[in-house]
Amino acid sequence: MSYLVLARKWRPKRFAELVGQEHVVRALSNALETGRVHHAFLFTGTRGVGKTTIARIFAKSLNCERGAGAEPCGECAACLDIDAGRFVDLLEIDAASNTGVDDVRALIENAQYMPARGRTKVYLIDEVHMLSKSAFNALLKTLEEPPGHVKFLLATTDPQKLPVTVLSRCLQFNLRRLEPAQIGGQITRILAAEGIAAEPEAVALLARAADGSLRDGLSLLDQAIAHAGGALDAASVNAMLGTVERAQVGALIEALADGDGAALLAEVEAMAAFSPDFGQVLEDLAIELHRLQLRQLVPSLELEATRVDTDGLAARLSPDIVQLWYQMAVNGRRDIGFAPSARAGFEMSLLRMLAFRPDDVGASGQAARPATVATSPATAMAPRATRAEAPAEPAKVDTPAPPTRAEPTPPPGATAPPQAPATPPPTPATPPLAEATPSPPRATALRSAEDWLELVPSLGLKGPTLQLASHSQFVAFDDGILRLHLPAEDAHLRSDNTARQLTAALATALGAPPQLRFEAQPPASGDTVQLRQARARDARQQAAEADFRSDPVVASLLGAGGNIVPDSIRPLPEK
């Protein structure tokens, strides 16, 4: 017996077995159950997302011998013949091979005859956009007013090429690309049924490589099983796909975080030994940077466990440099085809990340706090290389005396005019200069929970540090010790890095760095910034909805039976 590939062996035979596409299944099921079945359907979407499969299940639902409905029995002769591809009243036409007007005329002539076995004659035209213009014109009349026993199911990956006259005659359903989690779940179920062991990371690699197409994912699974010769592991799948392990991608980010060019190129050399797809490696790098940014800015989000030290890197790197590196990885992936070689383009992308970073980011990747330098307005505008501190007191500058005017010599016998006595020019009084003594910053009072709630938004915190402060309750502040309470569900927000950054921010406001202590016992009464802001947002939302409903025009429309789409009202941004 010949081997049946997994994509055909595990093709869904009922709507309930489909992966994703719930919006299409729901619409078709309702139409079948109520008997309100349109005569022409158009299924659009990328390859391998279920267009032909849905059409075949739909044909079974119309011709099942146990009655039409959304759940064909799958056991009668009609269902079995449709599954086997030999049902005479299901005519599958490949428009890529039958593009001419003569082919369409033959189809139209055949449509006039009653079904040979079933209740409905179904025409499934795949890649319908490949039909010629004259073929479309010949099909239009029949497509608009077919005989009652005929249904047209059209499928295409490129609906933009269809004439609007065809689109207007069909009910159109757009099938979505599948998420990696959906593809991975189906691959896991198939491996369990086939009795093949697999590492979760290997399944995740196949799901991501499928690029939204379940059929492509199952074809890759077939290839991976043949390549591994048994159980699937991440190393064999990486070798087959030309990708690299997550740990190697993490090593690249570690070298970048350390600013270690030698270690960075050593990792590239180790990767090159396996001849990877360097464009795919840049894509993997962008994925890991995306995960780092999620950990930094949305720490409450659950992320899948990988071999990359996501938490450690997220604490070491500043969010802005992660954004910068992500953009460089994406641009490098796009431009790698223009490089002299794929490896050269890959290396230059990494070296660009190593070379270009914000001025205030050191080799560790952390943003350094700039030192405050008192400069005059003139020096503030000067280039950085020539900028100098302004002197404490301005230097005394000698002003040259005005030149003496030479008087003309009188002629002989003439009397010289009387000369005014020479008096020195008055010397302007120079007021004494008082030394500029900087006044100490005024410390913010922090005596109550209300003071804490007003202080936190003014600190300019970002990312995980802002999350830590916003979820903490004020307990007390005495003798330089700031006692806070962090609920157990938010304990993940507290780390050495976030506590250190919060202390540094509070030092400026309080006049000195406080000593933070987190206590297990919550205060008798107290609020958090996060809860207060959430209540304020809810109040603004309710006010916006009330204002909208009170509008006379809206009120009249609601009175006439109109409805407001949920979550469609947004308050105006605060000024």
Residues 6+ apart with CB under 8 A from 484: 472, 473, 474, 475, 516, 517, 518, 519
Class of domain 180-241: mainly alpha
Distance in angstroms (rounded) separating the CA atoms of residues 463 and 314: 11
Q: 274 near 262, Cβ under 8 Å? A: no
> Helix, strand, coil % (nearest 5) of the chain?
50, 10, 40
Residue 308 DSSP code:
S
Q: 364 near 257, Cβ under 8 Å? A: yes
Distance in angstroms (rounded) separating the CA atoms of residues 408 and 422: 17
CATH number of 6-174: 3.40.50.300
> Where does residue 394 fall: left (phi above 0), alpha (psi -120 to 50 degrees), or beta otherwise?
beta
Polymer length of the chain = 575
Q: 455 near 444, Cβ under 8 Å? A: yes
Fold exhibited by the domain 449-523: GMP Synthetase; Chain A, domain 3 (3.30.300)
Domains of the chain, by residue range, sit at 6-174, 180-241, 246-355, 449-523, 528-575
The string of DSSP letters for 444-463 reads PP--SHHHHHHHGGGG---H
Q: 459 near 509, Cβ under 8 Å? A: yes
Strand order in the sheet with 121-126: 90-94, 121-126, 150-156, 40-44, 171-174
Closest CA to 127 of 42, 192, 3, 250: 42
Question: How much is the CA Rg of the chain, to the nearest whole Å?
Answer: 38
Judged by DSSP in three states, 286 sits in: helix
pLDDT of res. 374: 36
pLDDT of res. 395: 41
Residue 378's CB: how many other CB atoms inside 10 A? Answer: 9
Q: Tell me the two tokens of residue 61.
A: 């639902």
Q: b/e map of 449-474 (b: 16 or more CB within 10 Å)?
A: beebbebbeebebebbbbbbbbbbbb
Distance in angstroms (rounded) separating the CA atoms of residues 91 and 74: 19
Q: Tell me the two tokens of residue 180.
A: 């990696």
Distance in angstroms (rounded) separating the CA atoms of residues 529 and 373: 34
Q: 285 near 255, Cβ under 8 Å? A: no
pLDDT of res. 310: 87
Element (H, E) at 389: none
Residues 6+ apart with CB under 8 A from 564: 548, 549, 554, 558
Q: Tell me the two tokens of residue 213.
A: 């197409």
Q: b/e map of 111-139 (b: 16 or more CB within 10 Å)?
A: beeebeebebbbbbbbbbbbbeeebbebb
Element (H, E) at 332: helix 319-335
pLDDT of res. 353: 93
pLDDT of res. 189: 93
Q: 469 near 459, Cβ under 8 Å? A: yes
Helix axes of 234-241 and 214-228: crossing angle, nearest 10 degrees: 110
Distance in angstroms (rounded) separating the CA atoms of residues 346 and 281: 8
Distance in angstroms (rounded) separating the CA atoms of residues 223 and 209: 12
Q: 490 near 484, Cβ under 8 Å? A: no
Residues 6+ apart with CB under 8 A from 396: none
Q: b/e map of 35-46 (b: 16 or more CB within 10 Å)?
A: eebebbbbbbbb
**Which of the residues in the chain have pLDDT under 50?**
1, 360-364, 367-392, 394-424, 427-441
Q: 168 near 40, Cβ under 8 Å? A: no
* Type of residue found at 406: A
Fold exhibited by the domain 246-355: Zinc Finger, Delta Prime; domain 3 (1.20.272)
pLDDT of res. 440: 43
Closest CA to 54 of 120, 5, 126, 139: 126
Residue 1 DSSP code:
-
Q: Tell me the two tokens of residue 129.
A: 């956009």
pLDDT of res. 366: 55
Judged by DSSP in three states, 120 sits in: coil
Query: DSSP alpha helices (H): ranges in 64-132?
Result: 77-84, 101-111
Closest CA to 127 of 16, 38, 44, 248: 44
